């Protein structure tokens, strides 16, 4: 569950409401900038922490940030695969028990966004190239959209973790996400973990929304 909320109190309240319904608590940029390491330490007592900081900088800076994240006791940490082989290797060297996920192409981007940023390859090819680079550099897995999960499962094999945001119950708002699918589709396509934020956070009954996504996940596992 993505704890995309503006304060630690709200994150703690939401994680309490969702206790038993979600496997990981994802601390992203908004919450980390507001609640910092103390927030991670408090939330870690409730469930394992997925620290979604999407690190992307020179190798020396990223390796020091990875050490700091490891000391916080997070279980998963994101780095941008576009940071290149040197940055990824530097991150992996410091990760030890912390599992790194390489972000391939943000799920809010489509082909025209990539082209606007100077990347003219087909989007799926960019996702696959960055995924291979991340896992080849020692990352435990990748973040991609559900639409690429099956291609990535083929490319990366059974051991790589495939984590998919951009998950929406059918008929719900996509918001700023461009490459979306349901949790059932993501899991059936080979994803190991789905990341869900707004469809749970903004639901009138977040625990009921989480339960319904859990049912879709079970359905998707049945469809493999």
Measuring CA to CA, which residue among 167, 177, 46 is closest to residue 113?
A: 177
Cα-atom radius of gyration of the chain, to the nearest Å?
17
Nearer to ligand C5P, 4 or 124 (CB): 4
* In contact, 181 and 171? CB cutoff 8 Å: no
Q: Is 107 in the site for ligand C5P (CB under 6 A)?
A: yes
Nearer to ligand C5P, 137 or 177 (CB): 177
To ligand C5P, the closest distance from the beta carbon of 145 in angstroms equals: 7
Q: Which helix (H) or strand (E) holds 217?
A: helix 206-222
To ligand C5P, the closest distance from the beta carbon of 172 in angstroms equals: 10
Catalytic-labelled residue, pool 54, 70, 94, 201: 54
Q: Which of residues 75-104 bind ligand C5P (CB under 6 A)?
A: 103
Burial class of residue 159 in the structure, from the number of CB atoms within 10 Å of its CB (0-12 exposed, 13-18 middle, 19+ buried): exposed
Q: Quick check: is 54 catalytic?
A: yes
User: Among 2, 35, 82, 183, which residue sits at the site for ligand C5P (rule: CB under 6 A)?
Assistant: 2
Q: Is 124 in the site for ligand C5P (CB under 6 A)?
A: no
Q: For the sheet with 25-27, list strands across it.
A: 25-27, 49-55, 76-80, 99-103, 141-143, 161-164, 193-194
Q: Measure the CA–CA gap between 129 and 135, rounded to whole angstroms.
A: 10
Nearer to ligand C5P, 93 or 137 (CB): 137
What is the separation of C-alpha 40 from the centre of its chain, rounded to a whole number of angstroms?
16
User: Among 146, 165, 206, 220, which residue sits at the site for ligand C5P (rule: CB under 6 A)?
Assistant: 165
# residues contacting ligand C5P (CB under 6 A) = 17
Residues taking part in catalysis: 54
- The residue ranges that bind ligand C5P (CB under 6 A) are 2, 4, 28, 52, 103, 106-107, 143, 165-166, 175, 177, 195-199
């Amino acid at each position: 569950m993505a704890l995309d909320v503006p304060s630690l109190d709200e994150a703690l309240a939401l994680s309490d409401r969702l206790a038993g319904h979600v496997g990981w608590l994802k601390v992203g940029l908004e919450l980390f900038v507001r609640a910092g390491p103390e927030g991670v330490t408090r939330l870690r007592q409730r469930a394992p922490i997925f620290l979604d900081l999407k690190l992307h900088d020179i190798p020396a800076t990223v390796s020091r940030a990875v050490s700091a994240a490891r000391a916080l006791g997070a279980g998963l940490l994101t780095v941008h695969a576009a940071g290149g082989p040197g940055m990824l290797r530097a991150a992996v060297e410091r990760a030890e028990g912390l599992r790194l996920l390489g972000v391939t192409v943000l799920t809010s981007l489509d082909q025209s966004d990539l082209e606007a940023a100077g990347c003219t390859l087909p989007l799926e090819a960019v996702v696959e190239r960055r995924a291979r680079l991340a896992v080849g550099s020692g990352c435990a897995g990748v973040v991609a959209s559900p639409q690429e999960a099956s291609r990535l499962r083929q490319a990366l094999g059974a051991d790589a973790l495939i984590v998919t945001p951009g998950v929406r119950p059918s008929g719900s708002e996509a918001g700023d996400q461009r490459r979306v699918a349901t949790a059932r589709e993501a899991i059936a396509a080979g994803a190991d973990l789905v990341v869900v934020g707004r469809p749970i956070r903004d639901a009138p009954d977040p625990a009921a929304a989480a339960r319904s996504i859990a049912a879709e996940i079970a359905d998707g596992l049945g469809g493999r």
